[in-house]
Chain A
Amino acid sequence: MINTLTRTVTGRAFGGAWLRPGLTAGLAVVGLMGLAACKDTAVPNFRSPQINPESPSGIQFLVTGVAANSRADIGQDILALSGMGREIGVFTTTDSRFITEWMGDGNIIPNSDFYGGGGWSAEFLNAKDAEAIIQDLPKVTPAYSASDMSLITGVMKTFEAYNMMLVAETRDTNGVPIFGFASPPATPAPILCVKDVWKGIAAMLDSAEADLDAGTPGPLPINLPPGYAAVSAAGPSGTAGSFAGFNRALAAYAKLQYAYATTRVPGGGAPATPSSAGAPLLSALVAADSAVHATFLYNPGALTPPPAGDFSDPLAVYHNYSSTSGDLDNPVTFAVGQTTTVFVLDDVAAEIAAGGDLRANKLIVNSVGPNSEAGPTANAVAANGITVGFYQSASSPIPIIRNEELVLIEAAIQLGEGNLANAITSINAIRTNVGNVPPYAGAVTYVAVRDQLLHEMRASNLGEPGEERIMAVRNYGLQMQQTTTWGGTDTHSTLLPIPIQESGPRNGNITPSCS
């Protein structure tokens, strides 16, 4: 308490025994404050839209969310798989880890924050959200019809499988707990081996197809983003516009991978070697072939050369992007002079330089000429000097799957079944109709047709997700041969690690288990 000048404190209370007015006023203020603060009202969550997930409008928002967020890691998938497949080199001048870790310096990619969650967490989140939608469907008011519930369930299961496919591509033989999104964190689902991963994904897609087929043909009861315009209807997979067609397209890819995955685990068929075809699971190849032919998206007769600029294949499903506020940019444009540069490796460069193949037109060649980028510590990048961009702009769509890719899948199925002539037929459909180059005229042997298929995969799919080439390289036992640019010391990762956080609840055991 501050006083003025010299103050004498008397023994008497000020203003009599009590400071009555002050006391009254003070207590009144305190009382009012106390009363006013008896109970608080909840603070709204200003950061989140508030929806009713048990309403059709709420379901619609969440369905779109699953589709939209399935784009989250597409850029990384393309770069990682293309890099591991030794088609491209990714260099970013501001982050040495792209060179020392991603491109490989003789070590496996370390399990750090930088990579651990990449191509993993968003996919499981999407699958979990999709599963939550399925679980909420019976509670929705006004209630969905049985047909509508079945259709939405089929769509969501397809998205679950699609997201698990994205994870499976980058983890390969490290395995994936593909049913993790339905398991509590404390008792996580087992990490399945590559065989069971692809088998499980194929089964998810088959289950989804059954749900889709149980619905009434017509418009889907939910709207999907514009990238799914080609598959926005309910109906059999062979019907133009049916979502089941998308399902089957994915199933064809998954079953092809399953067929070869059986050869890559103990007890399976003989694995392929650089000189032999191995023994992929025939029944899976047959199922894959059925799926290819079941989808309306597969139509070799409709193949056409790629247009200049962005893809616009009507027989395709896309991730769309936009630079509009709140949307995502296309993550792999790589215009001239940007921080991250994508070099195509020597054998790719040779193909581009050879010219004539119209499929090269979709690549944007940014520069040609020697470059001075240093390579990884133990390796040196050959100075072929061709840097590319994959897409025209931040608003360019990226295909999820399309007709040309399905034709390549069909060729791979036929190759696996040993039907080399059929495989060549598919290869030639692309070469003549898309690349405008002469039909294949090489030897009709497994090795020759396989190498030709690998060439076509690169020419058709470079810069697209799916990355049939790295998948094929793995399936055909060719990893260590893709070293023409990087030299004999080019040991590098061909898969991403299981995130470190998966280890603890599994008592440190992240070795995949096989049925």
Chain B
Amino acid sequence: MNTHVVGKVPRLARAAAVTALCIAGGIALSAMTARAQERQVQGRVVDADGNAPVPGAAVTVVGTALGTITNDSGQFHIRVPGTAVTLTARRIGYTPRSVPLAADQAEITIGLIKDVLELEATVVTGTATTISSRNAANAVTVLNTDQITQVPAPTLDDAMQGKIPGAIIQQNNGGAPGGGMQIQIRGVTSINSDASALYVVDGVPVNNGHINDGANAITGANDNTITQSTQDNPPNRIADINPEDIESIEILKGASAAAQYGSRAGGGVVLITTKKGTPGKAKWDLEGKVGTFKPENFLNLRQFPTAASAEAWYNAYKATANSPWDPSRYQGNNPTQTQVFGGGEASYEGDLSVRGQTGQTQYYASLLSKYDNGLMVNTGYNKQGGRVNLTQNFSEAITGNLNMYFAHSNDRRGITGNDNVGISPYDVFSVTPGFFNQTMKTATGAYENNPYGLANAYQDAALIQTPEEVSRFIGGGNVDARIFQTDHQSLHLTALAGADIAHQTDDYYAPPDIEIETHQPLPGVATSLNGDNTYLNYNANLVHHYAGGNNFDATTSIGIGRDQRYFYNPYSVGQQLPPGIALVTAGAVQHNFDTTVVSRTFDFYAQEQFMTLDQRLTLSAGVTAERATDNGNINTYYPYPKFSGSFRVPQFAGFLDELKIRGAWGRSGTDPIFGVRYANVNNLTPQLDQGVTGLFTPESSNDPGIKPETNTEIETGFDATMFSARAQFSATIYQKRITDLLLQASIPASSGNTSQWLNGGQFTDRGIELSLSVTPVQMAKGLTWIFTSTFYRNYSVVDQIPVPAFSPATSFGPAFGQYWVQPGRSLTQFINTNVSCGNGCYEQTGDVSPSYTMSFGNTFTVGRFHLYGLLDWQRGANVGNLTNAYFDPTGLFLLADTAAEVKRNAVNAAGGPAYLESASFVKLREITLSYSLPDRWINQLSWVRISSARLQVSGRNLWSSFPYTGLDPEISNFGTQNIGRGQDVTPYPPSKSVFFSLDLGF
């Protein structure tokens, strides 16, 4: 093997040696362990409140490797040592309970108390290992199915907003149907490489990327080109997942928790576990939802309630000698924004699922069909999904899981956002008074041309087609084979293989005869875009568990993993089309583009997890070594170690049930993006010059020696459970230090290159996360009130860079805030280049990142009623409002606040940041009220066997408050960006939704 490990060879070698010793020690101990006399015990696990059986509970003998699972009736049989032992029963949703079992006791009933605050969860610690959250050494956030689905969400990202301390989840460019969001966990983790969070579904890494859809061919947003653009406003593909399929989501926030994912963990990891089959007979669930999406906010445009007001405005700003006021110009005080973005069309969703068991096979299957209406005319999102998850017990020692999901969607997102041709609706509104009725048609049935601008926004919305179709399969299978087991130890071999295969098409069409196209040099645009994304991966692991009593519990694991990603993206544009045909090949002018990206990684790892002191002290160490084809040296392994420890302090205060102190250190990385490793002379751009092909070198200089940047995280904190599990408070502080930055640093272009890829420099994220869960009221038959709150603050500072200060992302100039990477300053600062403080230093005018975020959740349950609400608060970020800059310089004063326009113009003329505004907000993210129908009502429906029924009304983003003068301060014109978010350019308006739903169990 032509491989070697760089940098940390001694450390890696030590870790490997420790692991080998642990394995050897464990096996040796097993050989020394005498098998005691055993006996058979039977028992039952029940809900302490009502004695209902608790199926699927794990019952283990403390201090041994023995355990079992309860059946559908909550019953279990277990063979235990002949001495007195302690049994522990665990089930998600209940507080774990340990009970003594006397030496002569043959039967036992264990009552579990509901875990109202849902404090108990299983936390992933390795590729094939987990730990109870009560022993976890990291601040891992776990969301369960109810938290995700109790309010219908356009996509999974929406459902997670405001629920994860440490994460900023925001929409990119408004409320277009089908999604389009980004998540950033614990601050910026890379300046120039792909730092988005890794999504893993049932152990299979999946694609959450986006394919720019080619809207730029119609908008010319990117400097009047027709290529795909980051300003295309595409959705990110986690939108394909059906939230109803999700059992839980676990967020590993950084390297200290996720180093096992190597270079893919730099931006955090979102682990999604889907629902699996359960013991017992089939249980069906049918849920129907009906609702609608409406605009959350509109701009405050100038109104023209009377013809006189229109005439006055016209005479002041538009009239010329050749075009005086004509009364026929007044066509009413048209609600132009509502005409184009009114929304209100019905949306619906149907979910059918079944889970149960037949023979040795447990199954979960689901079907989804949904339609989300768009706010904009001729937009909407249609999705169908189907899932089958099978769990097969091949024998007592071998189990297998097969998880298969297929999704298909049709999305129509319309044309909004930045443009350079005058087509975006808010671009049109910036020059078109509301007394021109854009919905009016001429006698021939055509829409009226806009006498004030280049486009009729309603005509564009109605006649431009923006279909996007996605077919996607995510599948994976794993096998767990118990190679041997004794009373105190076991050895398992697990293997997993997965595939995520997605095909996307975008066939946009702007007819040549609509007004906007008649202004183009090549009227009529048709595009044909295909995007094929294939992720393939597998891993294999050996896991040895030794349970030598309460003071010695060791889990050792080793394994290998492989990940391959393939992306192929041909894209064609036809222009100057004949009427009535939407084919690229009909264009008098045709352009073709394509992109191919292939990346592969391979890793091996070893990990030791050890518990002692009555399982109060947990220590863990592990290392993953990974190589990747995107690195300069494709066969160099880069080590990603991690260490962690937690200690559950014995009770020392009456109110305090338990205090856990924890700390963790870990390192992950971020690989270079595809292409950086190729020398400039092998990275040429072809360009035709009248049929002759020329090649020139890239403006950005590559680095054949490029390597991953490293991301070293240390976190510490505590979890305090109080008042008999009625309250829990967690606090975590962390530091992420990113070194060997993958910089596409701007360099003096006079050198021949505008930027240069290199490793170097350092920045640091420091933050604090607080979360509080309280049950102030918990009455046995009455009111239960649960209050939750989170607080998150992160600050990223540039420590040093090996190049002069530079701009890390595209902006529109100092008036809108320019990004600037400069040592000693916030990594996400906005500056004004018109105000220099010397030698690459400029006045800071704002920041992309908020000062802090908070959320407040309240859940009230009274009898069969359930009321829940979540308030999301962000304070301190800034947004560059280019939308206002469409209105102001026209001198037409079509925003209602004329004084503000005048003021901005003055600030702009003086070189100030006229369009940089506060992005603080408070939003009522979610609210829901549900009512579970009484059994006696249900029983009257004798013709169907309904076991439960629930009615619900819920809303998302129903109320918000912010000082921002644009549509929504949650905005990113350039889509998913590490830093370059916070630019508002005539976006799709944000949406709010209300849904009614009926959930039936059979």
Annotate B531-567 by CB proximity to A: 1 below 8 A, 0 otherwise.
Answer: 0000000101010000000000000000010100000
B392 closest partner in A (C-beta)? A2
Which of A39, A71, A113, A124 lies in contact with B751, CB distance below 8 A? Answer: A124
User: Is A440 an interface residue when CB atoms closer than 8 A count as contact?
Assistant: no
Residue of A43, A101, A370 contacting most chain B CB atoms (<10 Å):
A43
User: Is A325 an interface residue when CB atoms closer than 8 A count as contact?
Assistant: yes
Which of B635, B689, B754, B840 lies in contact with A227, CB distance below 8 A? Answer: B689
Known: A14-B396, A500-B833. A339 touches B886 (CB 8 A): no
User: Could you say which residues of chain A place their CB within 8 Å of the CB of B818?
Assistant: 112-113
User: Is B691 an interface residue when CB atoms closer than 8 A count as contact?
Assistant: yes
Annotate B376-404 by CB proximity to A: 1 below 8 A, 0 otherwise.
Answer: 00000000000000010101111101000
Give Cα A47–Cα B593 distance, bound, in whole angstroms.
Answer: 10
Q: Is the CB of A120 within 8 A of B629?
A: no
Give Cα A39–Cα B83 distance, bound, in whole angstroms.
Answer: 53
User: Is B810 an interface residue when CB atoms closer than 8 A count as contact?
Assistant: yes
Known: A30-B540, A225-B690. A188 touches B748 (CB 8 A): yes
User: Is A489 an interface residue when CB atoms closer than 8 A count as contact?
Assistant: no
Which of B68, B69, B453, B839 lies in contact with A93, CB distance below 8 A? Answer: B453
The secondary structure that dominates the A interface is loop
Known: A39-B2, A128-B752, A383-B320. A2 touches B276 (CB 8 A): yes
User: Could you say which residues of chain A place their CB within 8 Å of the CB of B834?
Assistant: 110
User: Is A15 an interface residue when CB atoms closer than 8 A count as contact?
Assistant: yes
- Smallest CB separation, B562 vs chain A (Å): 6
- Smallest CB separation, A15 vs chain B (Å): 7
Q: Is the CB of A120 within 8 A of B694?
A: no
User: Is B299 an interface residue when CB atoms closer than 8 A count as contact?
Assistant: no
Of A205-213, A411-419, A503-511, the one contacting chain B is A503-511
Give Cα A5–Cα B522 distance, bound, in whole angstroms.
Answer: 69
User: Is A13 an interface residue when CB atoms closer than 8 A count as contact?
Assistant: yes
Q: Is the CB of A324 within 8 A of B519?
A: no
User: Is A267 an interface residue when CB atoms closer than 8 A count as contact?
Assistant: no
Give Cα A185–Cα B701 distance, bound, in whole angstroms.
Answer: 11
Of A330-338, A347-355, A462-470, the one contacting chain B is A330-338
User: Could you say which residues of chain B place their CB within 8 Å of the CB of A97?
Assistant: 812-813
Annotate A70-110 by CB proximity to B: 1 below 8 A, 0 otherwise.
Answer: 01000000000000000000001111110111000111001
Query: B residues 595-630 with Cβ under 8 Å of A?
Result: 595-600, 602, 604, 627, 629-630
Known: A94-B427, A185-B756, A394-B589. A19 touches B483 (CB 8 A): yes
Known: A11-B79, A94-B422. A65 touches B629 (CB 8 A): no
Q: Is the CB of B3 within 8 A of A67?
A: no
Residue of B522, B630, B683, B804 contacting most chain A CB atoms (<10 Å):
B804
User: Is B495 an interface residue when CB atoms closer than 8 A count as contact?
Assistant: yes
User: Is A145 an interface residue when CB atoms closer than 8 A count as contact?
Assistant: no
Which range contains the number of A residues in contact with the other chain?
35 or more
Give Cα A324–Cα B591 distance, bound, in whole angstroms.
Answer: 7
Known: A29-B540, A48-B683. A124 touches B752 (CB 8 A): yes
Known: A22-B397, A33-B562, A394-B589. A339 touches B690 (CB 8 A): no
- Smallest CB separation, A232 vs chain B (Å): 12
Query: A residues 274-306 with Cβ under 8 Å of B?
Result: none
Give Cα A28–Cα B399 distance, bound, in whole angstroms.
Answer: 19
Give Cα A11–Cα B482 distance, bound, in whole angstroms.
Answer: 13
User: Could you say which residues of chain A place their CB within 8 Å of the CB of B38?
Assistant: 10-11
Q: Is the CB of B889 within 8 A of A99?
A: yes
Q: Is the CB of B687 within 8 A of A65?
A: yes
A22 closest partner in B (C-beta)? B481
Q: Is the CB of B889 within 8 A of A45?
A: no
Q: Is the CB of A65 within 8 A of B684?
A: yes
User: Is A270 an interface residue when CB atoms closer than 8 A count as contact?
Assistant: no
Q: Is the CB of B483 within 8 A of A23?
A: yes
Give Cα A122–Cα B746 distance, bound, in whole angstroms.
Answer: 14
A8 closest partner in B (C-beta)? B77
Which of B68, B598, B695, B839 lies in contact with A64, CB distance below 8 A? Answer: B695
Give Cα A42–Cα B598 distance, bound, in whole angstroms.
Answer: 10
Q: Is the CB of B396 within 8 A of A124?
A: no
Q: Is the CB of A328 within 8 A of B687?
A: yes
Query: B residues 752-766 with Cβ under 8 Å of A?
Result: 752-754, 756
User: Could you say which residues of chain B place their CB within 8 Å of the CB of A92?
Assistant: 420
Q: Is the CB of B629 within 8 A of A181?
A: no
Known: A4-B393, A5-B279, A338-B519. A69 touches B890 (CB 8 A): no
- How many B residues, CB 8 Å from partner? 142
- Smallest CB separation, B23 vs chain A (Å): 14
The secondary structure that dominates the B interface is mixed
User: Is A183 an interface residue when CB atoms closer than 8 A count as contact?
Assistant: yes
Q: Is the CB of B66 within 8 A of A47?
A: no
Give Cα A42–Cα B171 distance, bound, in whole angstroms.
Answer: 37
Q: Is the CB of B682 within 8 A of A45?
A: yes
Q: Is the CB of B454 within 8 A of A326?
A: no
Known: A48-B682, A339-B420. A112 touches B813 (CB 8 A): yes
User: Is B334 an interface residue when CB atoms closer than 8 A count as contact?
Assistant: no
Of B193-201, B485-493, B647-655, B988-996, the one contacting chain A is B485-493
Q: Is the CB of A107 within 8 A of B839?
A: no
User: Could you say which residues of chain A place their CB within 8 Å of the CB of B751?
Assistant: 124, 128, 180-181, 183-185, 188
Q: Is the CB of A50 within 8 A of B840?
A: no
User: Could you say which residues of chain B place their CB within 8 Å of the CB of A22?
Assistant: 397-398, 481, 483, 493
User: Is B107 an interface residue when CB atoms closer than 8 A count as contact?
Assistant: no
Q: Is the CB of B753 within 8 A of A107?
A: no
Give Cα A329–Cα B588 distance, bound, in whole angstroms.
Answer: 14
B627 closest partner in A (C-beta)? A40
- Smallest CB separation, B332 vs chain A (Å): 23
User: Is B78 an interface residue when CB atoms closer than 8 A count as contact?
Assistant: yes
User: Is A38 an interface residue when CB atoms closer than 8 A count as contact?
Assistant: yes
Of B151-159, B438-446, B458-466, B903-911, the one contacting chain A is B903-911
User: Is A140 an interface residue when CB atoms closer than 8 A count as contact?
Assistant: no
Q: Is the CB of B318 within 8 A of A372?
A: yes
- Smallest CB separation, B855 vs chain A (Å): 35
User: Could you say which residues of chain B place their CB within 8 Å of the CB of A94?
Assistant: 419-422, 427, 886
Q: Is the CB of A40 within 8 A of B600?
A: yes
A106 closest partner in B (C-beta)? B909
Q: Is the CB of B495 within 8 A of A13?
A: no
- Smallest CB separation, A101 vs chain B (Å): 7
Q: Is the CB of A30 within 8 A of B688?
A: no
- Smallest CB separation, B985 vs chain A (Å): 10
B492 closest partner in A (C-beta)? A1
User: Is B779 an interface residue when CB atoms closer than 8 A count as contact?
Assistant: no
Query: B residues 886-902 with Cβ under 8 Å of A?
Result: 886, 888-892
Which of B630, B694, B813 lies in contact with A65, CB distance below 8 A? Answer: B694
Which of B2, B422, B600, B697 lies in contact with A129, CB distance below 8 A? Answer: B697
Give Cα A333–Cα B521 distance, bound, in whole angstroms.
Answer: 8
User: Is B705 an interface residue when CB atoms closer than 8 A count as contact?
Assistant: no
User: Could you say which residues of chain B place their CB within 8 Å of the CB of A26?
Assistant: 481, 483, 493, 495, 540
Give Cα A53–Cα B804 distance, bound, in whole angstroms.
Answer: 32
Q: Is the CB of B70 within 8 A of A4?
A: no
Known: A34-B560, A110-B813. A8 touches B750 (CB 8 A): no
Q: Is the CB of B753 within 8 A of A185?
A: yes
User: Is A312 an interface residue when CB atoms closer than 8 A count as contact?
Assistant: no
- Smallest CB separation, A65 vs chain B (Å): 4
Which of B746, B810, B886 lies in contact with A501, CB distance below 8 A? Answer: B746
User: Is B480 an interface residue when CB atoms closer than 8 A count as contact?
Assistant: yes
Which of A8, A49, A335, A339 lies in contact with B79, CB distance below 8 A? Answer: A8
Q: Is the CB of A120 within 8 A of B682?
A: no
Q: Is the CB of B538 within 8 A of A322?
A: no
Known: A19-B482, A110-B813, A338-B520. A33 touches B3 (CB 8 A): no
Which of A42, A122, A333 lies in contact with B634, CB distance below 8 A? Answer: A42
Q: Which 8 A-B pairs have the closest CB atoms?
A: A504-B804, A128-B752, A180-B750, A64-B694, A65-B694, A46-B596, A96-B889, A65-B696
Give me 19 A-to-B residue pairs in the complex whose CB atoms sit less than 8 angstroms apart, sorted by A's number.
A1-B482, A4-B357, A7-B68, A9-B78, A9-B485, A14-B396, A19-B483, A37-B562, A43-B630, A47-B683, A69-B687, A101-B813, A110-B813, A125-B697, A188-B751, A225-B692, A226-B692, A325-B592, A394-B521
